[in-house]
C-alpha cells in the first residue's frame, strides 16, 4: 500500500471568481493553489508527519541551515487535464528517482519514491479545480522540494529536513506563438564541473546561474548556452534549465552526453521518440567548435532546448563575443515542431500512450 498523505482541507480557498481569472491567464510560478503537501524527517523518526493541508508560510528560525549553506533540492513536473476531464502525470517515476539521487548528492535523506508519488498525487487531488481545462498548453506545475530545516550553523547534513510540494497553474515558458529563443554563449561563466552538482537538481545551481543569465539578457539573448570551459575549446553542455538538442543533415538527433548536465525527463522522451521522426538518437560530447561550424555550414539544421517547464523550445540563433549565428533559416525547424507536437499529444492524451508514460490521478 502506498503511504498516505491525509488531507486537511483549507477553510479559506481562493474565491472561485479569482481562481477562474488566474486560470484564464496562468503565468509560470506566480499564483499558487490552496494546498501543499508536507513531510518531515529526523534521524530518529525517519520520514513522518505526512499530510496535505492549507498552503501556508513556513516559520523559520534565522539560523535555519538551508538559508546559509543551500542544502536544498527540488523537482518540477506537471499534471495535464485530458479532453474527457481526467488528470494525468507524465513519467513521474523518473522525477521521483531523480529527486532521491539529488537528495543523496546534497547529503539529504532520500525520500522513498512511493512517498514522492503519493504526495504529488494527493496534492493534485486536493487541488483538482486548479488543473486547467485546456485546449492549449496549460497545466498544473508541481514543485516538490526538500531543505535543511534544522537550526544550526555547522557544516554537516541537517538532522531535521522538511519536504513539501506546492503547485501553480501554468502555461509553457515559451508558447508556440513566441517562436523560439536566442542563446548567449558565455565565456565568463560555467555551470558545472566534473564531480560537482551539475547533474543535481538543486537550488544552488540556479542561484549561481543568475549572473550568467543577466549577461545573456544584456546581449539581447533569452538564455545562456553553457560550455564546460571558459574558452571556446570546450564542449556544449545545456541551457541552465533545459537540455540541448541538435538535428543534423545526416538524420541524427544529437544531445550532449550525461555527466555534468541534468538528466532531463524531456531529454529522455525526445531521444526515445526520435526514431518515429526518422532521426537516430545520439548521446555524445559535442565540442563548441563542431557546433559552431555545423551551424555555419548547415550540417546542423535545427537546434532546440527541452525541459518540463519549456516543453521543446526552438533555438533560432546563438550569439557570443564577436559573432552571431542563425540556426537554419531562423524559424522553428520542421522536426522540432513535429516532435514538440507529438510530446504534447502524448501528455494531453491525444496520441496513444504506447510507452506507458502516463499515470492517472483523477
Ligand atoms: C529540470 C532541469 C532540466 C530539464 O529536466 P526535465 O526533467 O526535462 O524537466 C534541465 N536542466 C536543468 C539544469 C534542470 O534543472
User: Could you say which of 143, 170, 197 is where a domain stops?
Assistant: 170
Domain identity same for 188 and 280: yes
The CB-side HSE value for 176 (13 A sphere, CA atoms) comes to 12
Q: Is residue 4 part of a domain?
A: no
Give 83's strand partners.
none
Cα of 46 to ligand 1 centre, how many Å?
Answer: 28
Domain identity same for 130 and 201: no
Mean pLDDT of 105-119: 98
302-320 burial code (b ≥16 CB/10 A, e <16): bbbbbbbbbbbbbbbbbbb
Cα of 207 to ligand 1 centre, how many Å?
Answer: 15
pLDDT tens digits for 125-162? 999 999 999 878 999 999 999 999 999 999 999 999 99
| Position in ligand 1 atom list of the atom nearest CA 307 | 8
Q: Is residue 354 part of a domain?
A: no
Ligand 1 site, CB within 6 A: 76, 201, 238, 240-243, 262, 264-267, 306-308
How many angstroms separate the CA atoms of 314 and 245, rounded? 10
CA 36 to chain centre: 19
| Position in ligand 1 atom list of the atom nearest CA 306 | 8
Domain identity same for 184 and 165: no
| Total tally of structural domains belonging to the chain | 2
- Check residue 174 and give its pLDDT: 61
| Position in ligand 1 atom list of the atom nearest CA 269 | 8
User: Could you say which of 170, 187, 221 is where a domain stops?
Assistant: 170
Domain identity same for 305 and 323: yes
Domain identity same for 27 and 79: yes
Task: With CA atoms as reference, report the closest residue to 296 among 265, 323, 264, 335.
Answer: 323
Cα of 13 to ligand 1 centre, how many Å?
Answer: 31
Q: Is residue 353 part of a domain?
A: no
CB 327 within 8 A of CB 317: yes
Strand spans (E) along the chain = 35-42, 46-54, 72-74, 77-81, 87-90, 139-148, 161-170, 181-185, 223-225, 243-248, 252-255, 280-283, 300-307, 311-320, 323-326, 358-360
Domain identity same for 329 and 181: yes
pLDDT tens digits for 339-361? 999 999 999 999 999 999 999 99
- Check residue 1 and give its pLDDT: 54
Task: With CA atoms as reference, report the closest residue to 98 among 257, 268, 222.
Answer: 268
Q: Is residue 357 part of a domain?
A: no
How many angstroms separate the CA atoms of 21 and 46, rounded? 41
Domain identity same for 204 and 332: yes
Mean pLDDT of 295-320: 96
Q: Is residue 244 part of a domain?
A: yes
Give 74's strand partners.
145
Residue 311 sits in a domain whose CATH number is 3.20.10.10
For 159, 191, 270, the CA distances from 200, given in Å and listed in that order, are 21, 11, 20
Query: Domain containing 77: what range?
Result: 16-170
Mean pLDDT of 196-221: 97
Mean pLDDT of 274-281: 98
Mean pLDDT of 305-315: 94
Residue 85 in grid coordinates: 476531464
Cα of 309 to ligand 1 centre, how many Å?
Answer: 8
pLDDT tens digits for 21-52? 999 999 899 999 999 999 999 999 999 999 99
How many angstroms separate the CA atoms of 204 and 210, rounded? 11
Q: Is residue 359 part of a domain?
A: no
Domain identity same for 215 and 272: yes
How many angstroms separate the CA atoms of 111 and 97, rounded? 9
Domain identity same for 145 and 197: no
Q: Is the pLDDT of residue 206 over 60?
A: yes
pLDDT tens digits for 50-70? 999 999 999 999 999 999 999
pLDDT tens digits for 152-199? 999 999 999 999 999 999 987 665 555 899 999 999 999 999 999 999
- Check residue 175 and give its pLDDT: 56
Residue 30 carries which DSSP code? T
Cα of 271 to ligand 1 centre, how many Å?
Answer: 15
Q: Beta strand 223-225 with 181-185: parallel, antiparallel or unpaired?
A: parallel
Residue 243 in grid coordinates: 537540455
User: Could you say which of 170, 196, 219 is where a domain stops?
Assistant: 170
CB 184 within 8 A of CB 166: no
For 56, 115, 144, 211, the CA distances from 47, given in Å and listed in that order, are 21, 9, 15, 36
Residue 31 carries which DSSP code? -
Domain identity same for 68 and 109: yes
How many angstroms separate the CA atoms of 158 and 303, rounded? 42
Residue 160 sits in a domain whose CATH number is 3.30.470.10
Domain identity same for 188 and 207: yes
- Check residue 136 and give its pLDDT: 83
Please report, rounded to a whole number, the percentage of residues in the chain having pLDDT higher than 90. 94
Domain identity same for 281 and 241: yes
Q: Is residue 236 part of a domain?
A: yes
Task: With CA atoms as reference, report the closest residue to 276 among 338, 206, 195, 198.
Answer: 338
Q: Is 181 helix (H, G, I), strand (E, B) or coil?
A: strand
Q: Is 271 helix (H, G, I), strand (E, B) or coil?
A: helix
Q: Is residue 358 part of a domain?
A: no
Amino acid at each position: 500500500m502506498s503511504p498516505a498523505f491525509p488531507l486537511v482541507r483549507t477553510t479559506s480557498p481562493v474565491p472561485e471568481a479569482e481562481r477562474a481569472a488566474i486560470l484564464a491567464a496562468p503565468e509560470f510560478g506566480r499564483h499558487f493553489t490552496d494546498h501543499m503537501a508536507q513531510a518531515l524527517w529526523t534521524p530518529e523518526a525517519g520520514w513522518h508527519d505526512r499530510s496535505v493541508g492549507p498552503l501556508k508560510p513556513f516559520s523559520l528560525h534565522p539560523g535555519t541551515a538551508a538559508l546559509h549553506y543551500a542544502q536544498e533540492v527540488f523537482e518540477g513536473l506537471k499534471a495535464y487535464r485530458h479532453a474527457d476531464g481526467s488528470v494525468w502525470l507524465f513519467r513521474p517515476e523518473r522525477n521521483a528517482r531523480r529527486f532521491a539521487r539529488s537528495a543523496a548528492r546534497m547529503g539529504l535523506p532520500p525520500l522513498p519514491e512511493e512517498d514522492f508519488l503519493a504526495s504529488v498525487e494527493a496534492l493534485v487531488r486536493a487541488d483538482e479545480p486548479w488543473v486547467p481545462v485546456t485546449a492549449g498548453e496549460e497545466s498544473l506545475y508541481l514543485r516538490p522540494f526538500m531543505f535543511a530545516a534544522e537550526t544550526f550553523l555547522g557544516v554537516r547534513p541537517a538532522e531535521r529536513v522538511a519536504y513539501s510540494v506546492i503547485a501553480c497553474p501554468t502555461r509553457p515558458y515559451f508558447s508556440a506563438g513566441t517562436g523560439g529563443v536566442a542563446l548567449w554563449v558565455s565565456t565568463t561563466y560555467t555551470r558545472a564541473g566534473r564531480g560537482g552538482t551539475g547533474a543535481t537538481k538543486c537550488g544552488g545551481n540556479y542561484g549561481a546561474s543568475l549572473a550568467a543569465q543577466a549577461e545573456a539578457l544584456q546581449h539581447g539573448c533569452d538564455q545562456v548556452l553553457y560550455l564546460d570551459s571558459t574558452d571556446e575549446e570546450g564542449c556544449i553542455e545545456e541551457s541552465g534549465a533545459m537540455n540541448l538538442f541538435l538535428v543534423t543533415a545526416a538524420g541524427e538527433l544529437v544531445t550532449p552526453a550525461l555527466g555534468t548536465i541534468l538528466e532531463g525527463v524531456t531529454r529522455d522522451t525526445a531521444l526515445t521518440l526520435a526514431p518515429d521522426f526518422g532521426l537516430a538518437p545520439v548521446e555524445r560530447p559535442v565540442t563548441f567548435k563542431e557546433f559552431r561550424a555545423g551551424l555555419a555550414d548547415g550540417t546542423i539544421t535545427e537546434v532546440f532546448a527541452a525541459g518540463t517547464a519549456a516543453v521543446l523550445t526552438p533555438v533560432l540563433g546563438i550569439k557570443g563575443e564577436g559573432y552571431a549565428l542563425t540556426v537554419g533559416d531562423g524559424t522553428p525547424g520542421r522536426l522540432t515542431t513535429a516532435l514538440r507536437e507529438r510530446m504534447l499529444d502524448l501528455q494531453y492524451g491525444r496520441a496513444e500512450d504506447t510507452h506507458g508514460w502516463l499515470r492517472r490521478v483523477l
